């Protein structure tokens, strides 16, 4: 018994001497007993710091000695007897983001004069230009934001961009020791948008801009079917160039873009702003002064992948209509190419907004020209049956031929409602005050029906439409005292909401007034202050 106890004490002394020697060899290793779990997590990370790697290598034997083999006959000691300190060598201290060092440039690497420069660190989307060093990715024909660089050690984005912060198209790069960079001008005479590459010893940063606010696209699914349109509302981040190609006079560039776009589906007609991102491809042809966007790929909209092609391609606009199963034949049609302001007619379907007594312009969907010589005619009647006959006001009562059937054109028809016509005269009023007269001179732009309502009256049901107009008018302002002269006539663009009403037993709808008047003139400022409720009322002879 005594011998067994002495053997155990000898083993305990040997183990303590072993641990003490390890503690003296590795001063910080005595804390491993506390944070074993944290140690496992740190070891699972990739080793990128040589200091941490050396610490882990030094502690490897300790970790090995800490492995617990439950089947072995080793004796264990109390952890609290090891004089444990609260710190761990594996706890990586929190450090700030490493500051990027200065960027050294050598123009001889580009086959140019061996000029060497040191500038501040750049962001991934910035291209350096300083002295004779011109980044080869800076190419005329593309748009760039130009930002003067600060001194070495300061962030490259601290200075404001040139040209009032606008991205301009680079038109040319001069030759010689000091290269002149010339950009497109926003003036008719003269051009102040230029500078020399050696104007600043700190240099310049060029930031590529392939996509700009206001650009419009049509988006397609992977099968090549168009599904809607996108308008760029704002750019949400830098456009980082990821690829450049120079071949046979063609310059191709790819960049990553993130932007907010107004997405409108053909099926719903509802437009909503959506945050989008993708890869944009732009190409500069040899004989063209500016690069053009070819495609934006890898764009996700509502968890579906699309690609965008430039321009709103109206020929792809799709519109689906369904016949009323109670009052009409239960049919379904999909029309392609219908304008947003046109009301559909196809097959057996006639949109319920099309009502006799109102004026319409008629356009077949498979062509750009309108029927009836492009005139807006009053609709007289809508026939019954499978194919409905639409009869318009005839040019001759002897041989009336201004009519068609709803199924005459397989691609359907688009009817544009018209409220105001060339030659119509109005009185400009504000309450009981007459301010002048207006005569419609041009009515070329579309007129859009905003909504329609049915009003019950003692004589039946009246139909009232609200149609947005945008016309040119000759406006003659009234003098104080009621007199007016011809030299006071002004040609102005007038916008407003025309209220058109068809009484229950009337055959023709009439304009009651035009409200929410807007003038493309400084007179609107005067009227807005003095007469806030301007209206145009049809002139009665």
> What pLDDT, in 10s, does the model give residues 73-101?
333 333 334 444 444 333 444 444 555 78
- For residue range 457-494, what is the model confidence (pLDDT) as tens digits? 998 999 999 999 999 999 888 765 545 444 578 888 99
- For residue range 270-284, what is the model confidence (pLDDT) as tens digits? 789 999 999 999 999
Share of the chain above pLDDT 90, in %: 52
The mean per-residue pLDDT over the stretch 301-327 comes to: 79
Q: What is the pLDDT of residue 80?
A: 38
In this predicted structure, the answer to whether residue 396 has a pLDDT above a threshold of 90 is: no
Helix then strand then coil, % of the chain, to nearest 5: 15, 40, 45
Band (6; pLDDT cuts 50, 70, 90): low
The mean per-residue pLDDT over the stretch 53-73 comes to: 37
Band (26; pLDDT cuts 50, 70, 90): very low
- Between residues 461 and 7, which one has the greater pLDDT? 461
Q: What is the pLDDT of residue 533?
A: 82
Q: What is the pLDDT of residue 28?
A: 39
Q: What is the pLDDT of residue 44?
A: 36
Q: What is the pLDDT of residue 481?
A: 53
CA-angle at 56, arms to 51 and 57, nearest 5°: 95
Q: Where are the beta strands (DSSP E) in 164-301?
A: 168-173, 180-183, 194-196, 204-208, 216-220, 226-235, 240-247, 250-265, 271-284, 292-301
Band (56; pLDDT cuts 50, 70, 90): very low
Tokens of 56: 């882990």
- Using the 8-state DSSP alphabet, how is residue 383 labeled? -
- Between residues 317 and 243, which one has the greater pLDDT? 243
Beta bridge partners of 390: 382, 404
Specify the DSSP element, H or E, that contains 145. strand 143-148
Q: Which residue has the tokens 């912060």?
A: 165
Lowest mean pLDDT among 69-78, 434-443, 447-456, 488-497: 69-78
Cβ burial, residue 126 (10 Å; 0-12/13-18/19+):
buried
Q: What is the pLDDT of residue 536?
A: 92
Q: What is the pLDDT of residue 188?
A: 77
In this predicted structure, the answer to whether residue 38 has a pLDDT above a threshold of 90 is: no
Q: What is the pLDDT of residue 11?
A: 65
Beta bridge partners of 296: 280, 308
Band (399; pLDDT cuts 50, 70, 90): confident
Q: What is the pLDDT of residue 315?
A: 64
In this predicted structure, the answer to whether residue 30 has a pLDDT above a threshold of 80 is: no
Band (48; pLDDT cuts 50, 70, 90): very low
CB 164 within 8 A of CB 186: no
């Amino acid at each position: 018994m005594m011998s067994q106890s002495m053997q155990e004490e000898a083993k305990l002394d040997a183990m303590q001497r072993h641990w003490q020697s390890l503690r003296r060899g590795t001063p910080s290793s005595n804390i491993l007993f506390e944070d074993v779990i944290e140690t496992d997590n740190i070891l699972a990370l990739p080793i990128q710091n040589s200091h941490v790697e050396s610490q882990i290598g030094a502690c490897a034997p300790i970790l090995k000695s800490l492995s617990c083999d439950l089947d072995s006959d080793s004796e264990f000691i109390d952890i609290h007897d090891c004089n444990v300190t609260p710190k761990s060598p594996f706890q990586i201290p929190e450090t700030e983001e490493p500051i990027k060092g200065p960027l050294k440039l050598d123009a001889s690497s580009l086959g140019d004069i061996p000029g060497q420069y040191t500038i501040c660190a750049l962001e991934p989307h910035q291209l350096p230009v300083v002295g004779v060093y011109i980044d080869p990715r800076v190419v005329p024909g593309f748009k760039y934001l130009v930002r003067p660089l600060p001194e070495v050690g300061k962030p490259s984005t601290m200075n404001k961009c040139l040209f009032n912060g606008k991205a301009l198209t680079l038109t040319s790069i001069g030759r010689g020791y000091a290269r002149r960079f010339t950009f497109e001008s926003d003036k008719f005479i003269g051009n102040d948008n230029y500078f020399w590459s050696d104007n600043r010893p700190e240099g310049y940063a060029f930031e590529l801009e392939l996509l700009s606010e206001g650009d419009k696209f049509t988006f397609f699914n992977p099968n090549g079917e168009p599904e809607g349109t996108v308008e760029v509302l704002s750019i949400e981040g830098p456009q980082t160039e990821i690829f450049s190609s120079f071949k046979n006079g063609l310059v191709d560039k790819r960049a990553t873009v993130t932007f907010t776009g107004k997405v409108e589906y053909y099926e719903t007609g509802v437009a909503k702003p959506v945050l989008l991102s993708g890869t944009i491809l732009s190409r500069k042809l040899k004989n063209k002064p500016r690069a053009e966007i070819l495609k934006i790929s890898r764009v996700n909209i509502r968890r579906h992948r699309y690609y965008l092609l430039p321009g709103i391609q109206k020929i792809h606009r799709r519109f689906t209509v369904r016949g009323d199963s109670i009052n009409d034949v239960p049919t379904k049609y999909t029309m392609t190419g219908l304008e947003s302001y046109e009301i559909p007619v196809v097959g057996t379907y006639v949109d319920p907004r099309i009502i006799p007594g109102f004026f319409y312009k008629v356009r077949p969907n498979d062509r750009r020209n309108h029927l009836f010589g492009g005139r807006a005619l009053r609709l007289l009647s809508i026939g019954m049956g499978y194919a409905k006959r639409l009869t318009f006001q005839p040019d001759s009562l002897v041989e009336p031929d201004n009519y068609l059937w709803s199924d005459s054109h397989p691609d359907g028809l688009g009817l544009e409602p018209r409220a105001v016509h060339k030659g119509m005269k109005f009185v400009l009023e504000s309450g009981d005050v007459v301010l002048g007269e207006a005569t419609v001179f041009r009515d070329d732009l579309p007129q859009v029906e905003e909504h329609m309502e049915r009003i019950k009256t003692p004589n039946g049901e009246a139909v009232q439409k609200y149609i947005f107009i945008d016309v040119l008018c000759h406006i003659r302002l009234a003098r104080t005292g009621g007199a007016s002269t011809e030299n006071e006539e002004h040609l102005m663009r007038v916008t407003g909401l025309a209220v058109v009403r068809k009484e229950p037993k009337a055959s023709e709808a009439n304009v009651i007034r035009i409200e929410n008047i807007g003038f493309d003139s400084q007179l609107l400022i005067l009227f807005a202050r003095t007469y806030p409720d301007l209206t145009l009322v049809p002139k009665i002879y």
